Amino acid sequence: MDHHPCLYTQTHMDGDLGKLVFVTALILLHFGKYVGSDEPQVPCYFIFGDSLVDGGNNNHLETKWKANYLPYGIDFPQGYTGRFTNGRTSADIIGQFLGIDDFIPSYAIATIDQFSKGVNYASGGGGIQEESGHHNGDRVSLDRQLLNHNSTVSSLSRVAKNTTILKECIYVVNIGSNDYINNYLMVGKYYNTGQIYSKDQYAEVLTQQYSQQLRTLYNLGGRKIALFGLSHIGCIPYMLKRFSTNGKPCVGWINDVIDAFNYKLKALVDELNKDKSDARFTFINTAGILFAQGVFNEIYVYMIFFSERALQSPPCCQLTGDWACTLKSVPCPIRSLSVYFDAIHPTELSNMAIATRAYKAVLPTDAYPYDIYHLTKV
């Protein structure tokens, strides 16, 4: 692990923007350490997940889960592409760390010629469970994403006659948030899981289904698979508006619900690595990366985290409805001083924090048992 003295500082600014604890320039410096390798570190890179890593698969669906309009993409090189943030997603940034020249294309627009370098299957609103997110229209669940990947692998097999290269590729899976935000925590006419299951029971239901889906990915050739844990969604503006925090910065009981899933997901990583001895699954601790755990004043490392006060900062964009940015509205002028772009999704800076420490762990708790850099080596 690289260490550098005096790179961790605590910055307090006035007003709503003054609730972050970070040094933006240091993240950019840390980011620059890993970009620009002459050759890609892996032959291909596949992305599965939800709106946190969607690259545009929802653009042509009949759905309200869309972000293909300004101000989304205001800081992205290609403009508004369907990414639910102002710039790059964490998956985009990890791809750059891996030395991949271009952003991985969405399955909806990818060509057979592009399949061999990787595909992004992620879909806003999609979940581990098929039903999650259905109240807002179509979305591509993880089961359907795996069917799409099966089609990709079949196409590669017909063209290349050799798919063993898939075992050397990196697979990122970032999904599960909608199984809570737009299922378990949305008790009413659309969903009843929150009435049926305790937090531990629901976490068990999800991880059992997730386990089968990941075994399907293994059967399709995946061997180096990074599973992103869920963020503390009890801290997002959408949840702060819906539920009482009882005077705390976040809705604590919701974060307890999320922790129950993350605990089981980390245990699932151990189980899969034991069952599939030729595979390498790893857990990325998104909640631990984004939110401060303990006191780090004496740790001199490249680091970014957000204080509890920062979690109360408003979304960067004006909202229409519960969570989405208003069409063509003007967002906050300095996006690097916001944790959230809309009421659910992180800004590019937050995505950089996640991607940087997922790729090269700063703390032992960031990734288990490998960060993505070491995942490319095993």
What pLDDT, on the 0 to 100 scale, is given for residue 313? 75
**Helices marked H in 276-370:** 286-290, 348-359
The per-residue pLDDT for range 189-221, each reduced to its tens digit, is 899 999 999 999 999 999 999 999 999 999 999
**Inside any domain, residue 11:** no
Q: Which of 342, 350, 366, 371 is catalytic?
A: 342
Residues 206-263 have pLDDT tens digits of 999 999 999 999 999 999 999 999 999 999 999 999 999 999 989 999 999 999 999 9
Give 223-284 as a DSSP string: -EEEEEPPP-GGGSHHHHHHS--TTSSS-HHHHHHHHHHHHHHHHHHHHHHHH-TT-EEEEE
- pLDDT of the residue at 21: 40
| Active site (annotated) includes residue 92 | no
Residue 162 falls within a domain, yes or no?
A: yes
> Residue 138: inside a domain, yes or no?
yes
Cβ(316)–Cβ(340) below 8 Å: yes
β strands within the chain, DSSP E: 45-49, 170-174, 224-228, 280-284, 319-320, 324-325, 367-368
Which of 30, 50, 51, 132 is an active site residue? 51
Active site residue 374: no
Q: What is the largest CA-CA distance in the chain?
A: 60
| pLDDT (0 to 100) of residue 301 | 35
Residue with tokens 């995942």: 375
* Below-50 pLDDT ranges, the chain: 1-26, 29, 36, 293-304
Give residue 362's Cα distance to chain centre. Answer: 18
| 2 part of a folded domain | no
Rounded CA gap, 142 and 103, in Å?
Answer: 21
> What CATH number does the domain containing 187 carry?
3.40.50.1110
Is the residue at 233 inside a domain? yes
- Contacts of residue 77, Cβ cutoff 8 Å, sequence gap at least 6: none
Q: What's the distance, Cα to Cα, between the start and end of the chain in Å?
A: 17
Does the active-site annotation cover 345?
Answer: yes
Tens digits of per-residue pLDDT, 303-338?
445 555 565 679 999 999 999 999 999 999 999 888
The answer to whether residue 7 is domain-embedded is no
What pLDDT does 229 receive? 98
Q: Which of 345, 350, 366, 371 is catalytic?
A: 345
Say what the pTM is: 0.90
Number of domains in the chain: 1
Residue whose structure tokens are 């869920």:
230
Rounded CA-CA distance 258/330 in Å is: 33
- Residue 120 in domain: yes
* 171 domain residue, yes or no: yes
The residue among 298, 290, 300, 289 whose CA lies nearest residue 26 is 300
Which domain range does residue 358 map to? 16-375
